[in-house]
Structure 1
C-alpha cells in the first residue's frame, strides 16, 4: 500500500493516474474499497489527463482562457522583503478545477446518470444519489487548499455565465460553512473579494480579449449583514445552521424589513435564535450556485441541511430554472458508515499530501515509549491519565523551544470526553506546569465535535470572545499555548501551530468522527515551502488504535522515542550557535559588505525599439489547411507544452489582437516591465506584419494566426523582443559603493528541508546544510584546512546576493555558495559547482567585479573569490585552501 516509487515530491508536479495511491492489498477490495477509493475517480483521472493533454479540447472559450491563465501563465507575487516569487497552484487544486470543467463543458454531466458513466467498478447505483440536481464533490486533504478551489470555481461560474451565451451556471453564490469558525476563516479570505485579487484568480484585462477584472462585479453578504442586492453578482456567505427550509408564508420584497426576504425568516420552536431560513433567498433570484466548505454534513436526505438545498432547487424549478451546481469540498466526504460519497469526482488523499509536504507528518511514540505509560487506578480523570498528559507536555515543550527560535508558538491540543473532564484537564495543566499558567483555552463542543453555539451553553458575548481567542491562538500576542476540548474540533479550526495532540478517549462509529478529522486539527503547516513539519500524537491505547486505523488509507505513521532526554521532532533549524560553549562566535563571524546595485534597468521609452536593428532568423511562412487553421495553439518555448489557445469569434475567425496581446504580456512579465503595453503591442504588431516571416503577411488571415502558433514563430517573437529590450535598457553603472554590512552572527534562525548536514566547528552556524553532496564534502574539507579560520554557507537568510546579467540578457540575482575567512585575514567568496550551466562564467565574472569594487572602496579587509568545480576538486584533491586558490583561481571554459 506504499506510494508508487515514481510519485513526485513536489505538490506542483502533474500526477499521472498510473502512479496515484491505491490500496494495493487485494484483501481490501471486497471489504473496504467503498471506504478507501471514490468509485468515479479512477476513470475521471484518465479522462481529465487526456483533456489536459489536448489543450482542453471541448471546453468553452471562457473555460480554456481561465485554465490557461490559472495553471500555465507565470504569476509573480511580491514578498515582504521586496523580492518576487512565482505563485503556482498545487496540482490537486488544478485537477479539481479541470475535472469540474471537464464534466460540465465536455461531458455535460447534469445529474447522477451522467456521473454513473464513470463508475469503473460497476458498484454504483442510482439509489446512492439522493439529489436530482448537478452535484460534484471534491475530496482534498486538510490543509491542501480547499478555499482556493472554491474561489476558482466561483470565478469560473461567474465568467462562464457572463461570457457564454448558453451557460447554465450562475453569477449568484450561496457559500455555506459548517460552523462559525469556518465562517470566519472564509470571510477573512472573501472580505473585499481579497482572495480573488491577491491570488491570480482574475486574469489581467486584455487577456484573450476580455476585460476580466472590470467585469468581475460581486457583492459579499455575510449572514444577516445583507447589503443592497442585485439580480446577479451576489455571494451569500452563511453558517450551515441557518440553512433550514421554512414552513410559514414566505416573506415579500414589499415588507418593511426585507431581511427575512433575503435570508429567510428566523425559525421558532426547537431551534436557537441564531438560525435563519435561507431557502427564501431564491424567490427573487433566477440563478444560484451552492458551494459547501467542509461538506461532509450534506450527506443524508433526511437532514434539514440537505432538504434546504433541495428546497432551493425546487423553488428555482418553479421559475423555469434549476440549481446550477452544488460543489462540495471536504477532506472526508464520508457517510456515517465510512463509505465515500459516490458523487466524489476528484481526490487528493492525505497519504499524497503528507508525501509532498503539503501537510505535517504525524509522529507517534514507539513501542518502548508507549510501554512506559499506563492508566492509573483513580476516579479523578487527570490522575488516571497523568502519564499521557505529562508525555504530551514534555513533547510540546521540546517543540515550543525549537519553534520559539523562529518567532513561532507551538500549540498543545488535548481532547477529552466531557465538559467536566475538560475543565479538570485545564485546571491540571495550569496548576502543574508554570509555563501553562493562564495559558490554557477551554473549548466545549457538542457530542458530534462541533463547537456549541446554543445560548444555553454559553452567553453570546462569551461565544464571540471564544471565537476570537480560538482564531488568534497562533499569534504571539495571544496568551494561550494550549487548547483543551471536549471530543475534538471536528472541522474548520484551521490553526497552523498545533505541534502536539493528546487524546484521552476512544472514538466510536457512534460519534461519527474519523481519524482523518482527529489528525486534521494538527496537520496545517506553520512554514511555507516544502519543509518537513511534524505533529506528535500521544494518548491512551484506545485513542492510539483509533488514530493508527488511518494506515488503511495508506498513511505511513512514523514512530519515535518520546519523553525526557529524547530529541524533538521538529523541522531542521539553522541558527547562530550561541549556546555552543566551544565556539568563539565573535572570532568565527564574517562580515560581508553590501554594495549598491551595479546593474540596473534604465526604463527608456519602448518607442526607441527598432525592428530594423533586431537580429533574428526569419521564419518560413507555411500554408495550412482550413481544418489546421482552426486549431490555433501556443506552446511553451522551452518545454513545448501547450500554454495558450486563441479566442475565436462566433464566425470562426481568429482575432489576431489577442495573439499579439499574448506576446506583449509574456515579454512584459518575463522582463518584469510595469508599463508600456500599448507601445510594445504596436511594435510587435509591426514586427509580425513586416519582418517576422520571409514576406509581409495579412494579420487578418487565419493562416497567419496558424503560423504564429508554431513554436518557431512564438520563440522568435518573444526572444527577439526580450533581447532588444534588454539591449536598450540594461546598463552597468560602472561603479558601486558600500551601503551596509552583513554580520553572519546577526542572522535570524530559519528552517530548512530535512536533508544531509554537517555539524561544523569553524562556523557561526549550528549546521551546514548541503544543497548537494559536493557542498557537504567541500564543507568537510574546509573544516580540515589549517589556513581556514572560519567559513559559512551563504543561506538565503543571510541575504547576500549579487545582481548580474544572465545568459538571456536579463537582470538576475546570484547567491554564491560559501564565505571563507583565512588566517591572513582575507575573506574569500567561493562558488562551487557540480554541473555547469551557461550562467557560470557570467556569475564568476560578476563575482570578480564585486571583489574589485569592494577592494577599491575600502582597504581594511581584502576580498577574493574562487570557483571550484567538482570534477577538478576530485581530480586534484587539494590539501589546503591555498591549494584551492592556486589551482582553481579562474573559471575554465
Structure 2
C-alpha cells in the first residue's frame, strides 16, 4: 500500500493516474474498499488526463481560457520582501477544477445517472444519490487549499454564465460554512474579493479578447448582512444553520442555551436573531451555485441542510430554472459508516499530501519511548495520565525552542474526555509547568467535536472573545501556548502552529470523528515551500490505536524517540552557532560588501524597435487543411505543454487579436515588462504580418493562425523579440560603489529541507547544508585546509547575489556558493559545479568583474574568486586552498 516509487515530490507536478495511491492490499479491497477509494475517481482521473493532454478539446472558450490562465500561464506575485516569486496552483487543485469542468462542459453531466457511468467498482447504485440536482464532491487533505478550489469554481461559474450563451451555470453563489469559525475564515479571504485578485484567479484584461477584470462584478453578503442589490453578481456567505428552511431557527447568543452558537448545530429553542430567509432570496433570483466548505457534515438527506437546498432547487424549478451546481469540498467526505460519498469526483488523499510536504508529517513515539509511559492508578485524571502529559510538554518545549528562532510559536493541543477533566488538565499544566502559567486556553467540546458552552451561559461578547482567542493563538500577541478541549475541535479551527497533540481518551463510534479529523488540527504547515514539518502525536493506548487506524489509508506514521535528550521534531534550523563555546564568532565572521547593481534595464520607448531589422531566420509558411485549421493549439517551446488554444467562431472567422495578445503578454511576462503593451502589440502584429514568414501574410486567414501555432514559428517570434528587447533595454552602468556590507553573523535563522549536512568547526553557522553531494565534499575539504581560517555557504538568507546578463540576454541573479576567509585581508568567493550549465562562463565573468570593482573601490580586503568543477577537483585532489587556486588557475585565466 506504499506510494508508487515514481510518485513526485513536488505538489505542482502533474500526476499520472497510474502512480496514484490506491488500497493495493486485496484483503482491504474486498472488505473496505468503499471506505478507502471513491468509486468514480479512478476512471475520472484517466478521462481527465486524456482530456488535459488533448488541450481541453470540447470545453467552451471561457473554460479553456480560464484553465490555460490558471495552470499553463506563468504567474509572478510580489513577496513580503519586495521581490517577485512564481506562483503555481497545486496539481490537486488543478485536477479538481479540470474534473468539474470536464464533467460539465464535455460530459454534460446533469444528474446522478450521468455520473454513474464512471463507476469502476460496479457497486454504485442510483439509491446512493439523494439529490436530484448536479452535485460534485471534492476530497482534499486538510491544508491542501480547499478555499482556493472554491474561489476557482466560483470564478469559472461566473464567467461561464457571463460569456457562454447556452450556459446553465450561475452568477449568484451561496457559500455555506459549517460554523462561525469557518465562516470567519472564508470571509477573510472573500471580503473585498481579496482572494480573487491576490491569487491569479482573474485573467488580465485582453486575454482571449475579454475584459475579465472589468467584468468581475460581485458583492459579498455576510450572514444577516445579506441584502439583494441586483439580480446577479452576489456571493451569499452564510453559516449552514441560516440555510434551514421553515421553522428551523439558527442559534443565537441570546438563547437560553448557547451551546450551539460557537460551533454547533441549531437549537430547538426559539430566537428572534435571524433576519434572513434564504428562501425569500431565492425567489428574487433566477440562478444559483452552491459551494459547501468543510462539507463532511452534510451527508444525511433527513437533515435540514439537505431539505433546504432541495427547497432552493425546487423553487428554481418552479421558475423554469434549477440549482446550477453544488460543489462540496472536504478532507473527509464520509458517511457515519465510513463509506465515502459516491458523488466524490476528485481525490487528493492525506498519504499523497504528506509525501509532497503539503502538510506536516505525523510522528509517534517509538516502541522504547512508548514503553516508558504508564497509566497510573488514580481517580484523579491528571495523576492517571501524568506521564502522557509530561511527554507532550517535553516534545512541545523542544519544538517551541526551535520554532521560536524563526519567530514562530509552537502550540500544544490536548484532548480530554469531558469538561471537568478538561479544566483539571488546565490547572495541572499551569501549576506544574511555569512556561504554561496563564497560557492555557480551554474550549469545551461535545461528544462529536462541536463547541459546547451550555454550562457556562457565556454572553455574546465572551463567546466572540473566545472565538478570537482560538483563531489568533498562533501569534505572539496571544498569551496562549496550549489549548485544551474535549476530544477535538472537529472543523474550522485551522491554525498552523500546532506541533504537539496529546490524546487522553478513546473515541466512540457515535462521535463520528475520523482519524484525519483528529490529526487535521495539527496538519497545516507553518512554513511555505517544500520544507518537511512534523506534528508529534502522544496519547493513551486507546487513542494511539485510533490514530494508527489511518494507516489503512496508506498514511505512513513515522516513529521516533521522544522525551528528554531526544531531538526536536522540527525542520532543520540553520543559524549562527552562538551556543557553541568552542567557536570564536568574531574570528570566524566574514564581511561581504554589497555593491550597487551594474546591470539594469533602461525602459526606452519600445517604438525604437525596428521589426524589419531583427536578424531572425524567416519561417516557411505552410498550407493546412480546413480540419487542421479548425483548432489552433499553442504549446510551450520548452516543455511542450499546451498554453493557449483558439477556435474558429461560428462564422468560420478566427480572431487573430487574441493570439497576438497572447504572444505580447508572454513576452512581457518573460521579460517582466510592466508597461508598453499597446506599443509592443503593434510591433508583434507588424512582425507577424510582414517579417516572420517567407512572405507577407493575411492575419485574418485561419491558415496564418495555424502556422503561428507551429513550434518553429512560436519559438522564432518569442526568441526574436526577447533578444531584440534585451539588446535595446539591458545596459551595463560600467561602475559600482559600496551600498552596504553583509556580516555573516547577522544572518537570521532559517529552516531548510531535511538533507545532507555537516557540523562545521570553521563557520559561524551551526550547519553547512549541501544542495548537492559535491558541495558537502567541498565543505569537508575546507574544514581540513590549514590555510583556511573560516568559510560559509552562501545561503539565500545571507542575501548576497550578483546581477548578470544570461545567455538569453536577460537580467538574472546569480548566487555564488561559498565564501572562504584566508586571512584578515583576503577573502575568496567560490563557485562549485557538479555539472556545468551554459551560463557558467557568464556567471564567472560577472564574478570576476565584481572582484575587480570591489578591489578598486576599497583596499582594506582583497577579494578573489575560484571556479571549481567536480571532475577537475576529483582529478587534482588538492590538499590546501593554495593548491586549489593553482590547480584551477587555467580556468581563471580563461575568464580574463
TM-score between the two structures when normalised by the length of structure 2: 0.97
Q: Name the structure 2 match of 1:257.
A: none
| TM superposition shift of 1:247 | 5.0
Q: Name the structure 1 match of 2:220.
A: 220
Q: Secondary structure at the match of 1:535?
A: strand
CA distance in 1, matches of 2:158, 2:463: 35
| TM superposition shift of 1:82 | 1.7
| TM superposition shift of 1:492 | 1.1
Q: Could you report, residue by residue, the CA deviation over 1:313-366 in whole angstroms, capped at 9, with x for unpaired residues?
A: 111111111110010000000000100000000000000000000000000001
Contact map agreement 1:794 1:816 (CA 8 A) in 2: yes
Q: Could you report, residue by residue, the CA deviation over 1:118-164 in whole angstroms, capped at 9, with x for unpaired residues?
A: 00011000000000000000000000000000000000000000000
| TM superposition shift of 1:747 | 0.3
Q: Secondary structure at the match of 2:624?
A: coil
CA distance in 2, matches of 1:482, 1:239: 28
CA distance in 2, matches of 1:152, 1:698: 37
Q: Name the structure 2 match of 1:252.
A: none
Contact map agreement 1:272 1:454 (CA 8 A) in 2: no
CA distance in 1, matches of 2:266, 2:784: 78
Question: Alpha carbons of 1:268 and 1:78: their partners in 2 closer, same or farther (altered >3 Å)?
Answer: closer
Q: Name the structure 2 match of 1:726.
A: 726
Q: Could you report, residue by residue, the CA deviation over 1:828-863 in whole angstroms, capped at 9, with x for unpaired residues?
A: 000000111110000000000000000000000000
| TM superposition shift of 1:241 | 1.8
Q: Name the structure 1 match of 2:254.
A: none
RMSD: 1.5
CA distance in 1, matches of 2:270, 2:242: 10
Question: Alpha carbons of 1:585 and 1:456: their partners in 2 closer, same or farther (altered >3 Å)?
Answer: closer
Q: Name the structure 1 match of 2:269.
A: 270
Matches within 5 A, 1:187-206: 187-206=187-206
| TM superposition shift of 1:211 | 0.2
Q: Could you report, residue by residue, the CA deviation over 1:501-535 in whole angstroms, capped at 9, with x for unpaired residues?
A: 00011012210000000000000000000000000
Q: Name the structure 2 match of 1:694.
A: 694
Matched, 1:753 2:749: no
Q: Name the structure 1 match of 2:422.
A: 422
Q: Name the structure 2 match of 1:858.
A: 858
Question: Alpha carbons of 1:564 and 1:33: their partners in 2 closer, same or farther (altered >3 Å)?
Answer: same
Contact map agreement 1:337 1:509 (CA 8 A) in 2: no
Matched, 1:318 2:312: no
Contact map agreement 1:647 1:658 (CA 8 A) in 2: no
Q: Could you report, residue by residue, the CA deviation over 1:671-706 in whole angstroms, capped at 9, with x for unpaired residues?
A: 000000000000110000000000000000111011
Question: Alpha carbons of 1:469 and 1:247: their partners in 2 closer, same or farther (altered >3 Å)?
Answer: closer
| TM superposition shift of 1:375 | 1.4
Contact map agreement 1:267 1:273 (CA 8 A) in 2: no
| TM superposition shift of 1:451 | 2.3
Q: Name the structure 2 match of 1:115.
A: 115
| TM superposition shift of 1:620 | 0.3
| TM superposition shift of 1:273 | 5.5
- Range moving further from structure 2, 313-322 or 196-205: 313-322
Matched, 1:45 2:45: yes
Matches within 5 A, 1:258-407: 270=269, 277-407=277-407
CA distance in 2, matches of 1:47, 1:522: 35
Contact map agreement 2:573 2:749 (CA 8 A) in 1: yes
Contact map agreement 2:444 2:453 (CA 8 A) in 1: no
- Range moving further from structure 2, 452-461 or 852-861: 452-461
Q: Name the structure 1 match of 2:253.
A: none
Q: Name the structure 2 match of 1:263.
A: none
Matches within 5 A, 1:397-796: 397-452=397-452, 457-796=457-796
Contact map agreement 1:272 1:455 (CA 8 A) in 2: no
Superposition misfits of 4+ residues, deviation over 6 angstroms = 453-456
Q: Could you report, residue by residue, the CA deviation over 1:18-62 in whole angstroms, capped at 9, with x for unpaired residues?
A: 000011100011111000000000000000000100000010110
Q: Secondary structure at the match of 1:224?
A: helix
- Range moving further from structure 2, 572-581 or 235-244: 235-244
Contact map agreement 2:631 2:647 (CA 8 A) in 1: no
| TM superposition shift of 1:270 | 2.7
Q: Name the structure 1 match of 2:826.
A: 826
Q: Secondary structure at the match of 1:582?
A: coil
Q: Name the structure 2 match of 1:91.
A: 91
CA distance in 1, matches of 2:457, 2:76: 48
Q: Name the structure 2 match of 1:253.
A: none
Contact map agreement 1:151 1:201 (CA 8 A) in 2: yes
Q: Could you report, residue by residue, the CA deviation over 1:148-201 in whole angstroms, capped at 9, with x for unpaired residues?
A: 000000000000000000000000000001111111111111010000000000
| TM superposition shift of 1:454 | 6.4
CA distance in 1, matches of 2:120, 2:238: 36
Q: Name the structure 1 match of 2:258.
A: none
CA distance in 2, matches of 1:767, 1:82: 28
* Equivalent residue pairs, number: 877
CA distance in 2, matches of 1:524, 1:272: 37
CA distance in 2, matches of 1:359, 1:641: 28
CA distance in 1, matches of 2:317, 2:653: 38
Q: Name the structure 1 match of 2:160.
A: 160
Contact map agreement 1:814 1:843 (CA 8 A) in 2: yes
| TM superposition shift of 1:228 | 4.8
Question: Alpha carbons of 1:511 and 1:277: their partners in 2 closer, same or farther (altered >3 Å)?
Answer: farther
Q: Name the structure 2 match of 1:816.
A: 816
Q: Secondary structure at the match of 1:316?
A: helix
Q: Could you report, residue by residue, the CA deviation over 1:433-455 in whole angstroms, capped at 9, with x for unpaired residues?
A: 11001111111122211223769
CA distance in 2, matches of 1:725, 1:453: 66
- Range moving further from structure 2, 642-651 or 572-581: 642-651
Matched, 1:880 2:880: yes
Contact map agreement 1:497 1:526 (CA 8 A) in 2: yes
Matches within 5 A, 1:29-108: 29-108=29-108
- Range moving further from structure 2, 668-677 or 271-280: 271-280
- Range moving further from structure 2, 428-437 or 452-461: 452-461
Contact map agreement 2:736 2:853 (CA 8 A) in 1: yes
| TM superposition shift of 1:274 | 5.4
CA distance in 2, matches of 1:8, 1:285: 46
| TM superposition shift of 1:883 | 1.0
TM-score between the two structures when normalised by the length of structure 1: 0.97
- Range moving further from structure 2, 162-171 or 449-458: 449-458
Q: Name the structure 1 match of 2:186.
A: 186
| TM superposition shift of 1:269 | 5.2
Q: Secondary structure at the match of 2:691?
A: helix
| TM superposition shift of 1:654 | 1.0
Gaps of 5+ in 1: 250-265
